[in-house]
Structure 1
């Protein structure tokens, strides 16, 4: 039962974070950022947020730095929008799954072209 609540809270936070990052934060260092997943700890005190960022590695680093700088504002907005007793600590991490899938696709195309 607790895992279901953790999952539901994670999905709600993911939805709210997406809206906050897209609409509320006006930092020009934040490029095209998509929230791909949120992993919540069992006690709902920690939220690991995976984001996909388009651009070069330096642009990704700048976007993560800008998100870390805005973490206090983001956390307060999440607290205002999601009714929880304690607002979780938010930790941003780059999601490399899209880069990995692109690499696999390129490799498969190379193998197919060789045949």
Structure 2
């Protein structure tokens, strides 16, 4: 039974996501930024760069939140270095994670299809066959 091998980047990524989630939560409060949460972190193989994906509670303020996080990325990296026991902490690059928004949009489309009902789709099929 083969087991999945975990690369160091996977372990570091998970640790960065946990620690940075706490740090970002406090920084958002301190700097008056819109509330965000860290949804994912992708670390380069050389551990020099980290893409940090965040989701905003208020979608309309997501650009403001990402801009604010980019401005304080150096401070966040310093706090992350204190929290983690790494020789080199990756440079943080913040990105908005729109996967939640896309999932919500798909969910709404599926609900709209349910509202239409099977009667409408069968009458459409009958019209196409003519």
Q: TM-score w.r.t. structure 2 length?
A: 0.81
- Could you tell which deviates more after superposition, 101-110 or 3-12? 3-12
The answer to whether the aligner puts 1:55 opposite 2:58 as a matched pair is: yes
Aligned residues: 112
Aligned to 1:99: 101
Q: Counterpart in 1 of 2:112?
A: 110
Equivalent residues of 1:32, 1:54 under 8 A apart: yes
Asked if the contact 1:3/1:42 (under 8 Å) is kept, the reply is no
- Aligned 1:72-83 pairs, distance under 5 A: 72-83=74-85
Unaligned stretches of 5+ residues in structure 1: none
Corresponding residue SS for 1:49? strand
Aligned-residue offset at 1:54: 2.0
Q: Which residue pairs with 2:31 in the alignment?
A: 27
Does the 8 Å CA contact 1:50/1:95 hold for their aligned counterparts?
A: yes
Give the ranges of 4+ consecutive aligned residues of structure 1 lying more than 3 Å apart after TM superposition: none
Normalized per residue, which structure has more helix? 2
Deviations 1:16-67 (Å, cap 9, x if unpaired)?
1110011244111x2120100000000100100000012243x111111110
Of structures 1 and 2, the larger Rg is shown by 2
Q: Which has the higher contact order (CA 8 A, sep 6+)?
A: 1
Calculate the aligned-residue CA RMSD, in Å.
1.4
Q: Which runs of 5+ in 2 are unaligned?
A: 118-130
